[in-house]
Amino acid sequence: MIHVGLSEIKFALNPETLKTLGLGSCVGVVIYHEESKIAGMAHVMLPDSELARVSSYPLGKYADTAIPALIKKLTEDFRCSRLQLKAKIAGGAEMFKTTRAHLVPSIGKRNVYAVKAQLAAFQIPLVSEDTGADYGRTIEFFTATCELAIHAIFKGSAVI
């Protein structure tokens, strides 16, 4: 099992498994090549690197740096065809509800939107997702089956 921490990007080959814990407003992004059973996972914290207050940060921290980094490694180092890559995502919850009206969507919604926009820009089909709501998730991607298991406290488990 390969653990993917906050703002990290890691890769796995069959029969390895990628896992990230505690996705609240963060989004777990898996981009994979089904035929070769190779996958990369990012634990995306924020939607846009323009929010960075420092010039150096982990590529997995932002949607606009994580998605290109995943694709680059899969296509250049692992020689996967970009046209055959697929994606699954989970997370993007609104963990702390407030009673006042907001003009700006929650960070979870903004993260999901940014991840989807990046996937669309690279023409990577989003095969399935488990996003939103108000609870955290732990996800585990199995390269052997290309299944994403989602575990949520008090909500049970699902496989997408």
**pLDDT tens for residues 86-108?**
999 999 998 766 655 555 678 99
Low-confidence ranges of the chain (pLDDT < 70): 96-104
Task: Specify the number of domains making up the chain.
Answer: 1
Question: Pairing between strand 85-91 and 126-131?
Answer: parallel
Could you tell me the pTM of the whole model?
A: 0.93
Q: Are strands 17-23 and 2-3 parallel, antiparallel or unpaired?
A: parallel
Q: How many CB atoms lie within 10 A of CB 36?
A: 16
Task: Please give the backbone phi and psi of residue 111, each rounded to the nearest 5 degrees, phi first.
Answer: -65, -45
How large a percentage of the chain has pLDDT more than 70?
Answer: 94
* pLDDT (0 to 100) of residue 52: 79
Q: CATH code at 21?
A: 3.30.1330.200
Is the distance from CB of 46 to CB of 107 less than 8 angstroms?
yes
Domain, as residue range, for 106:
2-159
C-alpha 52/C-alpha 124 separation (Å) is 26
